[in-house]
Structure 1
Amino acid sequence: MRLLKLLASVCTLAAVAVAVPAQEKRVHRHGDLSDHVHDDDHGFQYDHEAFLGKEEAKTFDQLTPEESKDKLAKIVDRIDTDKSGYVSHAELHDWIKHRQRKYIEENVNKHWSDYDKNKDDKIAWQEYKNTTYGFYLDEEFDDVEDKATYKSMLTRDERRFKKADRDGDGIATRQEFTAFLHPEEFDYMKDLVVQETMEDIDKDGDGLIGMDEYIGDMYVEEGEDGEPDWVQTEKKHFSEFRDSNKDGYLDAAEVATWILPGEVDHAHTEAKHLIHETDADKDEKITKKEILANWSMFVGSQVTNYGEDLTKRHDEL
Structure 2
Amino acid sequence: MRPLLLLATLTVLVGVTLTVPAKEKRVHQHRDLSDHAHDDSQGYQYDHEAFLGKEEAKTFDQLSPEESKDRLGKIVERIDTDKDGLVSHAELHHWIKHRQRKYIEENVDKHWKEYDQNKDGKIGWEEYKNTTYGYYMDEEFDDVDDKASYKSMLKRDERRFRLADRNGDLIATREEFTAFLHPEEYDHMKDIIIQETMEDIDKDGDGRINLGEYIGDMYSPEAGENEPDWVQTERKHFSEFRDINKDGYLDNTEVSQWILPGEIDHADNEAKHLIHETDTDKDDKMSKKEILANWNMFVGSQATNYGEDLTRKHDEL
* Shorter-chain TM-score range: 0.7 to 0.9
Q: Is the partner of 2:103 in helix, strand or coil?
A: helix
Q: Does 1:227 align with 2:231?
A: no
Alpha-carbon separation, structure 2, partners of 1:15 and 1:294: 45
Q: Which residue is 2:185 aligned to?
A: 185
Alpha-carbon separation, structure 2, partners of 1:4 and 1:264: 18
Task: Report sequence identity in percent.
Answer: 73
Equivalences for residues 1-317 of structure 1 within 5 A = 2-7=1-6, 10-17=7-14, 18=16, 19=18, 21-22=20-21, 23-221=23-221, 224=225, 226-228=227-229, 230-303=230-303, 304=305, 305-308=308-311
**Is the alpha carbon distance of 1:35 and 1:309 closer, same or farther for their aligned partners in structure 2, counting shifts above 3 Å?**
closer
Alpha-carbon separation, structure 2, partners of 1:15 and 1:66: 41
- Contact kept, 8 Å, 1:239 with 1:248, in 2: the verdict is yes
RMSD: 2.4
| Superimposed CA distance per residue, residues 8-56 of structure 1 (whole angstroms, 9 cap, x where no aligned partner) | xx54533535435444514122121122232333322222211111111
- Contact kept, 8 Å, 1:93 with 1:268, in 2: the verdict is yes
Alpha-carbon separation, structure 2, partners of 1:277 and 1:306: 27
**Is the alpha carbon distance of 1:38 and 1:256 closer, same or farther for their aligned partners in structure 2, counting shifts above 3 Å?**
same
| Number of aligned positions between the proteins | 307
Tell me the TM-score normalised to structure 2 length: 0.87
Bigger Cα displacement from structure 2, 269-278 vs 145-154: 269-278
Q: Is the partner of 2:245 in helix, strand or coil?
A: coil
| Superimposed CA distance per residue, residues 103-148 of structure 1 (whole angstroms, 9 cap, x where no aligned partner) | 1111101011111111111111111111011110012112212221
Tell me the TM-score normalised to structure 1 length: 0.87
Alpha-carbon separation, structure 1, partners of 2:297 and 2:178: 30
- Contact kept, 8 Å, 2:11 with 2:131, in 1: the verdict is no
**Is the alpha carbon distance of 1:297 and 1:12 closer, same or farther for their aligned partners in structure 2, counting shifts above 3 Å?**
farther
Give the letter for the 1:3 counterpart.
R
Query: How far has the Cα of 1:256 moved from its partner?
Result: 1.2
Give the letter for the 1:47 counterpart.
D
Query: How far has the Cα of 1:5 moved from its partner?
Result: 3.2
**Is the alpha carbon distance of 1:250 and 1:302 closer, same or farther for their aligned partners in structure 2, counting shifts above 3 Å?**
same
Q: Which residue is 1:314 aligned to?
A: none
Give the letter for the 2:5 counterpart.
L
Query: How far has the Cα of 1:310 moved from its partner?
Result: 8.7
| Superimposed CA distance per residue, residues 240-261 of structure 1 (whole angstroms, 9 cap, x where no aligned partner) | 3332223332211112122222
Query: How far has the Cα of 1:194 moved from its partner?
Result: 0.9
- Contact kept, 8 Å, 1:48 with 1:300, in 2: the verdict is yes
Bigger Cα displacement from structure 2, 273-282 vs 102-111: 273-282
- Contact kept, 8 Å, 1:20 with 1:133, in 2: the verdict is no
Segments of 5+ residues of structure 1 without an aligned counterpart are 312-317
Give the letter for the 1:242 counterpart.
R
**Is the alpha carbon distance of 1:73 and 1:122 closer, same or farther for their aligned partners in structure 2, counting shifts above 3 Å?**
same
Give the letter for the 1:307 counterpart.
L
- Contact kept, 8 Å, 1:58 with 1:310, in 2: the verdict is no
